[in-house]
Amino acid sequence: MKLFIAILGVVLLLVWAGIRIVAGIQFDQQCEGYLKRAADANTVELARVELARAVAYAQQNQLTTGYTSIIYRTPGEDVGFWYANLAASLLELESVGPDATQLERSNVLMKLRETLLDGGDHGPSVTIPTGISVFPRNSQYALFGTLALLLMSGGIVALVIEDGTW
């Protein structure tokens, strides 16, 4: 029974990790990738199309309010601010008329790039709240992962104690 509990915990932990990886990939494909493309766009029109896709995804998946954290809140996990910033940037892109000068267009694109990207040790990265790929189900994922880890740890400890090598 103890071996079964340990194996069940390992399997559940692997399932949890797999689900998190898939969620991260899907978020990258359906939102984060479009944010990067909007930041890299060379024209206002192209940036508008890419940013509109990301904003539509955020709206469809309820990524408009709340925090990705479970226990405490930090500014880096504020989904509402992130979404409001994206929506405001989209409105600004939409307000650029066909008669706008090249300087105005360039300024809007530079501002958008600064809004969407953060500088890092390994180059620029898209500005997103930590844990957004599984939001708004962060609590369920944390509970599932914690239970799987406890099952695995409890089973392994019980096996080691039974074996007498502890």
pLDDT higher at 2 or 153: 153
Beta strands in 13-138 (DSSP E): 117-118, 125-126
Are 30 and 57 within 8 A, CB to CB?
yes
Percentages (nearest 5) of helix, strand, coil residues in the chain? 70, 5, 25
Task: Give the CB-side neighbour count of residue 41, counting CA atoms within 13 A.
Answer: 26
pLDDT in tens, 29-53: 999 999 999 999 999 999 999 999 9
> For residue 4, what pLDDT is reported?
85
Residue 48 burial (10 A CB sphere; 0-12, 13-18, 19+):
buried
- Provide the total of helices (H) and of strands (E) in the chain, helices listed first: 6, 2
61 has pLDDT over 80: yes
Q: What is the pTM of this model?
A: 0.86
> What is the average pLDDT across 137-166?
84
